[in-house]
Structure 1
Amino acid sequence: MIDTTSFWIVTILLGIGTFLIRFSFLGFFGGKELPGWLLLHLRYVAVAVFPALVTPLVLWPDATGGEIEPARLLGAIAAFAAGFRFGVVAAIVAGMGSLWLLQALL
Structure 2
Amino acid sequence: MIDKTSLWIVIILLGLGSFGLRFVFTGLVGDRPLPPWLLRHLRYTAVAVLPGLVAPLVVWPAATGGALDAPRMIAALVTLAAGYFLRNVILAIVLGALTLYGGLAVFG
Greater alpha carbon shift after TM alignment, 87-96 vs 51-60: 87-96
Displacement of 1:86 = 4.5
| 2:46 corresponds to | 46
2:88 maps to a residue whose letter is G
* Percent of paired sites with the same residue: 53
| 2:102 corresponds to | 101
Q: Give unpaired runs (5+ residues) of structure 1.
A: none
SS in structure 1 at match of 2:31: coil
CA 1:16–1:95 in structure 2 vs 1: closer, same or farther (change >3 Å)?
A: same
Q: Deviations over 1:16-55 (max 9, x none)?
A: 1100011112222111111111111111111111112212
- 1:71 aligned to 2:61? no
Runs of 4+ in 1 over 6 A off after TM superposition: none
Q: Distance in 2 between matches of 1:7 and 1:90?
A: 44
| 1:35 corresponds to | 35
Coordinate RMSD, CA, aligned: 2.0
Q: Distance in 2 between matches of 1:2 and 1:89?
A: 44
1:33 maps to a residue whose letter is P
SS in structure 1 at match of 2:2: coil
TM-score normalised by the chain length of structure 1 = 0.81
2:5 maps to a residue whose letter is T
TM-score normalised by the chain length of structure 2 = 0.80
Greater alpha carbon shift after TM alignment, 84-93 vs 96-105: 84-93
Q: Distance in 2 between matches of 1:4 and 1:92?
A: 43
Greater alpha carbon shift after TM alignment, 26-35 vs 54-63: 54-63
Q: Distance in 1 between matches of 2:75 and 2:20?
A: 38
Count of equivalent residues: 106
SS in structure 2 at match of 1:91: helix
- 1:91 aligned to 2:92? yes
